[in-house]
Amino acid sequence: MKRVLLINPPFNIVKDNYDSSISVGLLSIATHLDFNGVPVKIIDGVRQKNFLEIFKAEVAKSDLICFSVMTMQIPQALELSALAKKINPRRQIIWGGAHPTFFPEQTVKHELIAVRLIALFAITAPLIKAAGEPGQSNWWRLT
């Protein structure tokens, strides 16, 4: 069974001013995957101490590396995507979230990103579960 890593990349915000709850979108995906027996872990670049160390360790043992990306997170998400490819080059990197939803053409062009998901997270969870299988498309848009 594939091991899935869900990531909320860090971005330039004062942590004291940021909501302390976990990303609802990532939590929705993780809940669905866990319910279906898929090993999943969420890491949060905004809230977790030692994020980079945790990220490196988790990427090394993950089969799918999934980012939830808002536009303000793009620089960090791209850096982390490149680092993930360096650590674990055979694994796919999946981007979902606000930026890929609102700017799909820009997102689809980037060579680091293997799969782009544009949909509600609860709907995308089965796609993440199946991502990387032979014959799968690398672009989905669900309405």
- pLDDT tens for 27-39 read 888 888 888 888 9
Angle between helices 51-60 and 74-87 (to 10 degrees): 40
- Widest CA span in the chain: 45
Separation of alpha carbons 18 and 113, rounded Å: 27
What number of residues does the chain have?
A: 143
Domain spans, the chain: 4-141
Q: So what CATH class is 4-141?
A: alpha beta
3-47 pLDDT tens trace: 999 999 988 765 665 566 677 888 888 888 888 888 999 999 888
Stated pTM of the model: 0.76
